[in-house]
């Protein structure tokens, strides 16, 4: 018998309201099925089940607010499959999260969730910062040719190249694909959280899971799926709360560089500015080329600047070979 518990959907989540059961006692469930809907500060989230079996018992009634880790149901599993989804350490969850009011997430509750996470981060994480400027000519030329050759629904955005380059670089520098909770714990999966702006409301960070194993088209399809759902606050448990690193890109507003705040218990955040045409030295001559500034903030308890520096240079070299991504 498997205990199905209230998942942690981010270090800033302490509890949630079970809004509705989608499955009932006696129902057969498959791994990945949506079993319930819960109300969090980030909106109503559909919770997926990680086992295949039959629901034997429902332990929490709809309408109840329960802490993370509470047993919600018991499942008679036919084949137990383990899934090392990252459960961010709840120990460092902020205690100053405002209670949820109303039926669903409000502008205020999302703002409060962001406020709590960044406050915890700045209070507990000694950040170090690095930046590098990357020549994007090869990547942009490749992307442009690719997008001209494929149907419009298969066009890629530069963000897809960044996500894959980051995921590959994390495979090379696994110390940054980790959590810090009184010690460094490296993670097997590489799940890249992508900061999505909710415009005036705040931000939400859905995840591209196992980004290192996915081809560019799949990463783009994932973005096409999760960004609209993130903006509608219709995310599932597998979309959120399991990022192992975070990417923030603010290039659209025309800023050159962005320095992020680490989302605990992660140990790094990567910031990517806009692609700008600037003069740079190429083979001893000045040329105007598309360049982008990539920054990283690292948790100095977990790693040192040298590690971050190697990581950034790995990202740069992956971006010089877009066809291999």
Partner 1 sequence: MTEDQIREVVSNALASLAPDADVGSVEAGVDFRTTLGLDSFDFLQLMQAVHTATGVTIPEDDYGTVTSIHGLTVYISAHGGQATPHNASGDH
Q: Indicate the residue among 232 and 304 with the shorter CB distance to partner 1.
A: 232
Q: Indicate the residue among 173 and 223 with the shorter CB distance to partner 1.
A: 223
Q: Indicate the residue among 15 and 239 with the shorter CB distance to partner 1.
A: 239
Distances (CA, A) of 239 to 10, 45, 126, 175, 242: 11, 9, 28, 23, 8
Could you tell me which of 324, 300, 317, 114 has the C-alpha nearest to residue 215? 324
Residues that bind partner 1 (CB under 8 A): 144, 147-148, 151-153, 155, 157-159, 197, 199-200, 223, 227-228, 251-252
Rounded least distance, CB 155 to partner 1, Å: 6
The torsion angles phi and psi of 285, rounded to 5 degrees, stand at -125, 155
Rounded least distance, CB 152 to partner 1, Å: 5
Rounded least distance, CB 59 to partner 1, Å: 38
Rounded least distance, CB 318 to partner 1, Å: 21
CA distance 220 to 201: 25
Could you tell me which of 229, 245, 237 has the C-alpha nearest to residue 68? 237
Q: Is 271 helix (H, G, I), strand (E, B) or coil?
A: strand
**Which pair of structure tokens corresponds to residue 34?**
């949506």
Q: Indicate the residue among 34 and 157 with the shorter CB distance to partner 1.
A: 157
Q: Indicate the residue among 14 and 44 with the shorter CB distance to partner 1.
A: 44
Q: Indicate the residue among 17 and 230 with the shorter CB distance to partner 1.
A: 230
Rounded least distance, CB 57 to partner 1, Å: 41
Distances (CA, A) of 104 to 39, 109, 195: 6, 9, 21
Rounded least distance, CB 132 to partner 1, Å: 22
The angle subtended at Cα 308 by Cα 305 and Cα 314, nearest 5°, is 145
């Amino acid at each position: 018998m498997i205990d199905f518990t209230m998942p942690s959907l981010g270090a800033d989540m302490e509890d949630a309201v079970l809004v509705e059961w989608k499955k009932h006692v006696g129902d057969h469930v498959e791994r990945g099925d949506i079993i319930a809907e819960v109300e969090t500060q980030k909106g109503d989230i559909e919770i997926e089940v990680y086992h295949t079996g039959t629901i034997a018992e429902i332990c929490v009634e709809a309408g109840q607010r329960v802490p993370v880790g509470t047993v919600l149901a018991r499942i008679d599993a036919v084949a137990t499959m383990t899934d090392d989804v990252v459960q961010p350490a709840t120990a460092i969850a902020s205690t100053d999260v405002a209670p949820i009011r109303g039926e669903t997430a409000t502008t205020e509750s999302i703002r409060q969730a962001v406020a709590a996470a960044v406050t915890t981060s700045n209070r507990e994480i000694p950040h170090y910062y690095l930046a590098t400027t990357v020549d994007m000519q090869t990547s942009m030329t490749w992307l442009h040719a690719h997008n001209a050759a494929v149907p419009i629904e298969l066009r890629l955005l530069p963000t897809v190249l960044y996500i894959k380059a980051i995921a590959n670089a994390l495979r090379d520098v696994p110390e940054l694909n980790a959590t810090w909770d009184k010690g460094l714990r490296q993670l097997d999966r590489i799940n890249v959280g992508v900061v999505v702006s909710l415009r005036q409301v705040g931000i939400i960070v859905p995840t591209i899971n196992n980004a290192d194993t996915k081809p560019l088209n799949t990463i783009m399809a994932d973005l096409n799926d999760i960004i609209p759902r993130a903006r509608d606050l219709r995310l599932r448990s597998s979309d959120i709360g399991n990022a192992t690193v975070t990417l923030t890109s603010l290039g659209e507003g025309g800023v050159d560089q962005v320095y992020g705040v680490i989302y605990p218990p992660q140990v790094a955040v990567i910031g990517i500015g806009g692609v700008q045409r600037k003069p740079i030295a190429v083979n001893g001559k000045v040329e105007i080329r598309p360049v982008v500034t990539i920054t990283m903030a690292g948790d100095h308890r977990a790693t040192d600047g040298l590690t971050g520096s190697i990581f950034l240079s790995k990202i740069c070299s992956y971006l010089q070979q877009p066809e291999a991504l």
